[in-house]
């Protein structure tokens, strides 16, 4: 089965990951995996850069603790409101682990980026994380005045499982006019189908960072088999008509590549404006690999440029 050659950044990331101690997540309990993840991510991420954004500012959003960054270019009033859902397979991760991404996205977009600490599995199984994402979207108007947000400039965004949650929030808004209506969604290598049957699961099952076994462990900690067809877990199985325009960033050497592309195609077929960008030869999670992979900053800049073209 043919595979694309890996980029230098991807190879450097794999070399760094190989030096990290500990077994794969599927050989750990969820608390052990969180501890391992929290120990390891600083070796892959760039540290926060105080020259790029103000913050973070503690914020309570929809009864969930959150961190907030105001990009240096964000106006005092009427700023873009970017709700960012962090990745981590619904089991690991936090606003702190994704602070460098959120900070640089705030700077690139001239936005106020809010990253909530949504509930994690298995202590809080499906649909807890999806419910939190939708609740945080619903709560944005409550903090709009305090943070100088424009209610008509809301963007939902996320990576991996966070991309799943961002897509779910956008779908929920399309179904419920009482919710704040996002103007755009930024989906970075999103998880869109709990079935895990796409070809990329076999092409990149081992040796490319996130493995098929680990992804199965994440999914099974979050959801039961009878949940797999629920659109709040598998957005690809939803009718996406009426959802916000989307920027979809894909990694070429990623088990989630095919379902991410399929979701972008489904959005386009339903009449949603979509821009799909492929980072060939890059790994799943490359936004979190910015210490080793320049594609991370390229993807954030591309998303910001797309928002400008959309006039959001």
Q: Which residues are catalytic?
A: 160, 254, 284
Q: Do residues 262 and 198 touch, judged by C-beta distance below 8 A?
A: yes
DSSP strands (E only) in the chain: 53-61, 64-71, 79-85, 111-116, 149-159, 184-188, 246-253, 274-283
Between vectors from CA 219 to CA 218 and to CA 220, what angle results, nearest 5°? 95
Between vectors from CA 142 to CA 140 and to CA 145, what angle results, nearest 5°? 95
User: What 3-state DSSP class applies to 151?
Assistant: strand
Residue indicated by tokens 């989906």? 187
User: What 3-state DSSP class applies to 46?
Assistant: coil
Q: 145: exposed, middle or buried (C-beta count within 10 Å: 0-12, 13-18, 19+)? A: exposed
Per DSSP, what are the bridge partners of residue 113?
A: 69, 82
Q: Give whole-number Cα distances, 211 to 26, 172, 256, 285, 292, in Å.
A: 10, 30, 10, 12, 20
Q: Do residues 111 and 72 touch, judged by C-beta distance below 8 A?
A: no
Contacts of 168 (CB under 8 A, 6+ apart): 130, 133, 134, 231, 232, 235
């Amino acid at each position: 089965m043919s595979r694309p050659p890996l980029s230098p950044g991807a190879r450097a990331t794999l070399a760094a990951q190989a030096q990290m101690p500990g077994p794969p997540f599927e050989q750990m309990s969820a608390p052990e995996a969180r501890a391992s993840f929290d120990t390891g991510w600083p070796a892959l991420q760039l540290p926060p850069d105080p020259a790029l954004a103000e913050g973070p500012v503690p914020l309570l959003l929809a009864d969930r603790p959150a961190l907030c960054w105001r990009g240096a270019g964000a106006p005092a009033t009427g700023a873009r409101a970017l709700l960012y859902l962090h990745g981590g397979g619904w089991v690991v991760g936090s606003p702190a682990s994704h602070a460098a991404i959120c900070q640089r996205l705030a700077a690139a977009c001239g936005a106020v980026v809010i990253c909530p600490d949504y509930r994690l599995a298995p202590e809080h199984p499906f649909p807890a994380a999806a419910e939190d994402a939708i609740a945080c979207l619903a709560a944005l108007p409550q903090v709009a005045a305090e943070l100088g947000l424009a209610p008509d400039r809301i963007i939902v965004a996320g990576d991996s499982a966070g991309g799943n949650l961002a897509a779910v929030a956008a779908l929920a808004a399309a179904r419920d006019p009482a919710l704040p209506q996002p103007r755009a969604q930024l989906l970075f290598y999103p998880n869109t189908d709990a079935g895990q049957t796409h070809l990329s699961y076999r092409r990149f099952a081992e040796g490319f960072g996130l493995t098929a076994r680990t992804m199965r462990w994440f999914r099974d900690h979050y959801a039961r088999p009878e949940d797999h067809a629920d659109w709040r877990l598998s957005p690809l199985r939803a009718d996406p008509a009426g959802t916000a325009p989307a920027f979809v960033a894909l990694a070429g050497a990623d088990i989630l590549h095919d379902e991410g592309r399929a979701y972008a195609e489904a959005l386009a077929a339903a009449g949603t404006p979509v821009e799909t960008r492929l980072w060939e030869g890059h790994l799943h999670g490359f936004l979190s690999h910015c210490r080793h992979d320049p594609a991370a900053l390229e993807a954030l800049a591309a998303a910001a440029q797309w928002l400008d073209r959309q006039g959001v």
